[in-house]
Amino acid sequence: MTVTSRAELRGATRVVVKVGSSSISGENAHKIEPIVAALAEAYGRGTEVVLVSSGAIATGMPYLRLDERPTDLATQQAAAAVGQNVLIYRYQAALRPFAIVAGQVLLTAGDLENATHRSNARRAMERLLRLRILPIVNENDTVATHEIRFGDNDRLAALVARLVGADALVLLSDIECLYTRPPGEPGATPIDTVAFGDDLAGYEFGSVVVNSVGTGGAATKVSAATLAAAAGVGVLVTSADLIGEALGGEHVGTWFVPDDQAPRHPLTGPVSTGADTLAG
């Protein structure tokens, strides 16, 4: 089905949900359980869910006795190798009471540029969904290089939504919705809806930020949401604390209206790893 409004999210056939590092690591690691509970509720309604989860590096940092996100690639890869294992364990532990099994899918930007790899990834996720397994997708930080990264998992989530022909994409953040400028600044007002083709040039979303655990920010979510909406995928940006309300079709967050003229088919052509284009 084509999801054209927030309210229709509750009855969506297939949804991609993206959660960031800061929402599920460190002092927020306990939030995995309520996030999983919301996913399980949607799952129980018959919705097929794909979870794109950041957090491998952030989760691995304490095990490497790191207080801040490493800047060198080798240490990032080491932290990801440890953290991905722990992260999936935590998700599976939270899923166990709902009798849901997780399946790990690790991708690099090169995988989506390569036709064979892209086809294999799509086929694997289709099979997982048909078997009622929850695919948990992350960038394969252990082998990715600075030159061939998605840049942020918001973009990865938009590409995965295209890849699997999702009806909608939910990008979870630390704030309830997007604002016309950073919410701490005077004059910042919440953005309820972004119609397809709206000119957002007058808004100040800020550049990509790097904090102690991950990368991202409002700008990356706007970019990813715009890309997905242009492909006919409705996008909701809201807080991870409101995931239940979001998947339940309640009026929360910022809604990006999809292009109703876009062809509704899974991603088949090559994609760009750049930040401004989405081909295919």
141 is in an annotated binding site: yes
Determine if residue 198 is labeled as part of a ligand binding site. no
- Which residue type, as a one-letter code, is found at position 102? A
**Residue 22 marked in a binding site:** no
In the numeric block, which tokens belong to residue 37? 């509970």
Residue 120 assigned to a binding site? no
β-strands 134-139, 102-107: how paired?
parallel
173 annotated ligand-binding residue: yes
Residue 271 CB neighbours (<10 A): 22
CA 249 – CA 8 distance, rounded (Å): 6
Could you tell me which of 14, 43, 36 has the C-alpha nearest to residue 162?
14
Find out whether 154 is annotated in a ligand binding site: no
Q: Which residues are annotated as a binding site for substrate?
A: 54, 141, 153
Q: Which residues are annotated as a binding site for ATP?
A: 18, 173-174
Q: Which residues are annotated as a binding site?
A: 18, 54, 141, 153, 173-174
